[in-house]
Amino acid sequence: MATIIFHIDVNSAYLSWTAVEQLKNGAEVDLRTIPAIIGGDQKSRHGIVLAKSISAKKYGIRTGEPVANAFRKCPNLVTAAPNHKMYREKSRQLMDYLRTYTTEIEQVSVDECYMDFTKIADKFASPVAAACEIKDGVKNKFGFTVNIGISSNKLLAKMASDFEKPDKVHTLFPEEIPLKMWPLPINELFMAGKSSVDTMKKLEINTIGDLAKADPALIELHLKSHGRMLWNFANGIDDSQVRSKPSEAKGIGNSMTLSEDVATYDEVQKVFKSLAQSVGGRLKKAGQKAMMISMEVKYHNFQTMSHQRQLSKPTDKEEEIYDAACQLFLESWNGEPVRLLGIRTAKLVDASEPEQLSIFDIKMPEKPDEKHQKLNKAMEEIRKKFGDSAVMKASEMK
């Protein structure tokens, strides 16, 4: 049975959901029909653009840019402040509706998800007919629109959903790649950030097709493992599965949205130090250790990425959690500024369970470093009593 994957993406989610709510409350103007954005404050013009209307896009307004810049491009711009509580409710309603079709759904953000359509394909005349039914159902039931991309894997479905908007259904099957995807500029490839694009343009790679036909070893030489991933994406290669169920064990994690985008590895390390301290402390408090560490990133343009690793043995040590997160970050980072970082743990085991040691774990007895042991214990006690930020190393201070 051929795999069929849908990628469902709400069109300008924050703006659409705000417009629907305003119209429900008696507003006479639909934000989606005028130059409008979500983000910041109309008077102060602080903050960044979280979503924009099609009319605003015509003025060159981009998601992620400062609101003040957007007003310089369009002085008559209308803005509304974000309402994340309302967004979460709209998202929940959408996902509940989609689950009336299948529970094989992986939600990847508040406004987008993947649906494994394979098992229910025979109930519909075609995948396109089913996608049109879902798209129209969302519009009629909730008042906002979605784009749906259809393919045999998640990457191509995602690329298809980004074709012409709004309120559209597009296919991008492997045989359609040369016609529909390869002519696109390289910056339209999923996960191709500005830094990667600049590097590839220096190599005279200007379209996705140029990258697909390039020597992967050359790309990897310049962009490391991220380059190999981009080369795979350009050729439509993606073996990731739709994960509709949570991890084997409920995990412990923490994330931090940064007050300013960070663009250097040194800054990232400081954030991971704080997060690893928090996650390690919570694992100890729960009496658990983790066999799996995952690191998540949200870039300045709101693209998200995560990377995970199975450990050789379970841990609750903040140093080991920190080291794993940093390594995962370096393997995945595309060089773009970052606005959110997170560390998650999974495959938890009871901390009291005996560990199976390999020959490489066996060391000759050493005199314990009592000074550091006492210091770490004292720091843990202070944090338990007064909170994680009560005591920290000087290197972690801003």
What pLDDT, in 10s, does the model give residues 303-351?
888 888 888 789 999 999 999 999 899 888 888 889 999 999 988 888 7
Q: For Cα atoms 15, 21, 25, give the angle at the middle one, nearest 5 degrees.
A: 140
Note every long-range contact of 173-178, with CB atoms under 8 Å and residues 24 or more positions apart, other chains counting: 174/236, 177/212, 177/235, 177/236, 178/209
In sequence order, the β-bridge partners of residue 288 are 350
Give the annotated binding-site residues for Mg(2+): 9, 111
Q: Which amino acid is at 316?
A: D
The one-character DSSP state at 113 is: E
Rg (alpha carbons) of the chain, rounded to whole number = 24
Q: What 3-state DSSP class applies to 290?
A: strand
Identify the burial level of 223 via C-beta atoms within 10 angstroms of its C-beta, where 0-12 means exposed, 13-18 middle and 19 or more buried.
buried
Superfamily of domain 5-10+86-177: Reverse transcriptase/Diguanylate cyclase domain (3.30.70.270)
Strands 169-171 and 105-109, by their bridges, are unpaired
The one-character DSSP state at 192 is: -
* CATH (residue range 187-234): 1.10.150
Asked if 175 is an active-site residue, the reply is no
* CATH (residue range 252-396): 3.30.1490.100
pLDDT, tens only, 9-31: 999 999 999 999 999 999 999 99
> Cα–Cα distance between 109 and 198 in angstroms, integer?
27
Q: Is the pLDDT of residue 380 over 70?
A: no
pLDDT, tens only, 269-311: 999 999 999 999 999 988 889 989 999 999 887 788 888 888 8
Q: What is the CB-side half-sphere exposure of residue 210 using CA atoms within 13 A?
A: 16
Q: Which amino acid is at 234?
A: A
Give the annotated binding-site residues: 9, 111
Q: Write down the pLDDT at residue 247.
A: 42
> Cα–Cα distance between 39 and 51 in angstroms, integer?
7
> Cα–Cα distance between 293 and 312 in angstroms, integer?
11
Q: Write down the pLDDT at residue 311.
A: 84
Tokens 């989606």 sit on residue: 32
Which pLDDT band holds residue 397 (cuts at 50, 70, 90)? low
Q: Write down the pLDDT at residue 78.
A: 94
Q: Which amino acid is at 131?
A: A
> Cα–Cα distance between 239 and 163 in angstroms, integer?
22
Q: Is the pLDDT of residue 374 over 70?
A: no
In sequence order, the β-bridge partners of residue 302 are none
Going by C-alpha positions, the residue among 152, 275, 151, 366 that lies closest to residue 162 is 151
Q: Where are the domains of the chain?
A: 5-10+86-177, 14-84, 187-234, 252-396
Edge-to-edge strand ranges of the sheet holding 288-299: 252-262, 338-350, 288-299, 304-315
Of residues 112, 296, 318, 320, which has the active-site annotation? 112
Q: Write down the pLDDT at residue 11.
A: 95
- pLDDT, averaged across the chain: 87
Identify the burial level of 25 via C-beta atoms within 10 angstroms of its C-beta, where 0-12 means exposed, 13-18 middle and 19 or more buried.
exposed
DSSP string, 18-58: HHHHHHHTT-SS-GGGSSEEESS-TTT--SB--EE-HHHHT
Q: Domain 14-84 maps to which CATH number in 3.40.1170.60, 3.40.50.970, 3.30.465.10, 3.20.20.70?
A: 3.40.1170.60
Strands 169-171 and 146-151, by their bridges, are parallel
Tokens 């005279």 sit on residue: 204
Q: What is the rounded average pLDDT of the residues 29-51?
A: 84
> Which tokens is 222 given?
């310049």
Q: What is the rounded average pLDDT of the residues 25-38?
A: 96
Q: Is the pLDDT of residue 39 over 80?
A: yes
